[in-house]
Amino acid sequence: MVAIKAKLDLNTDPPDLQDASNSKPLRLRAGAAPADADACAAAATPTSTALQRTEMVLIPGLPPSLAYKCLARVPKESHSSMIQVCRAWRSALLSGPLFTLRKHLGASSCMDQVPWIYLAFCPNVKLLRKSKCKLPYTTWLEAYDPSLNLWHNLGPFPGLLPHHTLKDFAFVSLGDKLYVIGGMHIPNHVAYDNDNNATTNGMATSLQVIRKEVLVYNCTTREWSTCASMSTPRVDFACTICKGCIYVAGGRTHSGQEKGVSSAEFYMPEADCWVALPGMSTKRYKCVGVTSDDRIHIIGGFAGPEESDPMIQPSTIKRSSVDVFHPHNGQWTLLMGMWQLDIPPKQIVSVEDRLYSSGDALNEWKGRIEEYDKELNMWKVVEGSWLPMSHPEECHKSERCYLTMAPIGHYLFFLGGYRLPSDLKSTSLHTVYIFDTTARDAASQWKLLEPMQDRCKELCSNCCVVYL
C-alpha cells in the first residue's frame, strides 16, 4: 500500500457549526446564472469594502474582477500549490462562485473538472453525552476534495428543528446539484435511545417524522432550495439516477413499523414533478438502488411480516431477489438470486458499468471488494482487494464510526471514520483509501491518503460525487 501525504495542518480544528436554532432561514433561489463572464466575475468577486476590510488583494495592480478572471484560467492541477501562496488566493480558489466563472470562461474542461465527495453528518449523541466534545445537534454537510485531501465544512441543513437530525434519506447528485430526498426527522434523545436499544414508547415514535420533502443544494453557489416533494413519505428506500431522472422505490412510510412498501416513482428535474411507476413485485425496505445497462436495479432489502400472517417472514429467496425496471417499456422484471444473501447490501456503486460492493447492512466492510458477474449472476471477490480497513495502524482497537464508498473514474474511494481509543474528547481519525479497479499489480491497487483528526460524528446517508 502506498501512503500519499498532503501539506495540511492536521492540528487545526474546523470551525464549530452553528446550532440549527440559530441557522439562517431557507433561501429559495430562482433564476439563471449571469449571462456573460464579466457579470459572472463581478458576482464572484468580493466587494471592494470587504477586500479593504480583510486586506485581501488578489493580484496587486489589478481590479478584483480581472484578478478573479486570471485565477479562474489557471489549470486545476496547479490549485494545490496556489492555495499556499496567500490567504486571499486560498479563499478565492476554494470558493463556489469561482467554479461558475471557470465554466463561463471555458477554462473548465471535462478533463479539468474536479470531483468533490459530499457527505452528510450528524453528531454521535452516544459519544457526545459521554465526552466534552461540542458538536451541533443537527445534520450538516461536508465536502471532501480528493485532489487536495481537504475537507470543507458547508454548514447545517436548513429547515430542521433545533436538536433534531435527519437520517436515512436518499442522497444523490445531478449536475452540480445535490438532492436530499425523504428520510426521518428525529429528535436527538430518541436517536440516543435507538442507538442503545432502549424501548421506544408511543410518544417517542410519534416524534419521528418520515418526510417526503426534497432539499436541493447547489454546489456552485452553495445555496439551498427546495423542489417538488415525493407523493409518498419514505425512509430506508432505494434511489438511483438514470438518464437525468431520479428513481426511488421501496422503503418504509410509517415510523415504528418494520414494514416495507413496493411503490416507486421518479423525478423529472425539468418539469419539477414526480411521476408514479408500477409497483415492484416485492415489498422492500433498506434496499439499494443502482443503475446498470440503463436499467434500474432495486437490490435486496427487508420486507417485514406477511399481511396474511404476521408470524410468517418473507422467504430468503424474496429478500435476495432484485426488481429491475426497464424505462423504455415501463415494466418491472424479477431477477432471482442476484444478491444471494438475506441481509441487504450496504452500498453498491457502478464503475464503468461494473457493479461493486464491499459490505452489507450488518457489516459495512467485509474485508474485500466484490464485483458482480452478469453472466454467472454471482458476486466474485476482486483480486488484490483484501484489506484490514477496520483496524488502521493509527487506530489500534478502534471503533469504526462510519464507512462509505464513492466511485470516481475507475477508482473507488472509501471514506471512513474511526474513534481513537481512550479519548475523552471523542476524537476520531478520518481515513481515505483509494482502490484502482484497473490495476493488476497488487502493490499499486490500494493507496492511503494522510489521515486527519476530527471530532466524532456519524454518517446520515451514503456519499455522492459532484464534478465542479
Quote the pLDDT of residue 5. 36
Quote the pLDDT of residue 50. 42
- Asked if residue 369 lies in contact with residue 396, where contact means CB atoms within 8 angstroms, the answer is no
Work out the average pLDDT over 436-450. 86
Quote the pLDDT of residue 160. 92
Q: Domain of residue 51: give its range.
A: 34-105
Q: What is the largest CA-CA distance in the chain?
A: 79
Quote the pLDDT of residue 313. 54
| % pLDDT > 70, the chain | 72
pTM: 0.79
Q: Mean pLDDT of all residues in the chain?
A: 79
- What is the per-residue pLDDT across 340-359, written as a single tens digit (0 to 9) for each? 888 899 999 999 999 999 99
Considering the domain boundaries, does residue 26 fall inside one?
A: no
Residue 390 above 70 pLDDT? no
Quote the pLDDT of residue 23. 34
Considering the domain boundaries, does residue 403 fall inside one?
A: no
Quote the pLDDT of residue 191. 55
Say how many domains are in the chain: 1
Quote the pLDDT of residue 335. 92
Considering the domain boundaries, does residue 67 fall inside one?
A: yes
Quote the pLDDT of residue 337. 86
Quote the pLDDT of residue 58. 87
Residues 6 or more apart whose Cβ sits within 8 Å of residue 103: none
> Which residue type sits at 85?
V
Considering the domain boundaries, does residue 76 fall inside one?
A: yes
Considering the domain boundaries, does residue 420 fall inside one?
A: no
Q: What is the 3-state secondary structure (H, E, C) of 137-166?
A: CCCEEEEEECCCCEEEEEEECCCCCCCEEE
Phi, psi of 410, deg, nearest 5: -100, 20
Considering the domain boundaries, does residue 51 fall inside one?
A: yes
Residue 254 above 80 pLDDT? yes
Cα–Cα nearest to 298, from 306, 307, 286: 286
Considering the domain boundaries, does residue 57 fall inside one?
A: yes
Q: Which residue has the cell 477554462?
A: 107
**176/248: higher pLDDT:** 248
Helical packing angle, 96-105 and 37-44, nearest 10°: 170
Quote the pLDDT of residue 307. 57
**202/163: higher pLDDT:** 163
Considering the domain boundaries, does residue 84 fall inside one?
A: yes
Work out the average pLDDT over 444-463. 87
Work out the average pLDDT over 329-343. 91
Please state, as a whole number, how many other Cβ atoms lie within 10 Å of the Cβ of residue 306: 13
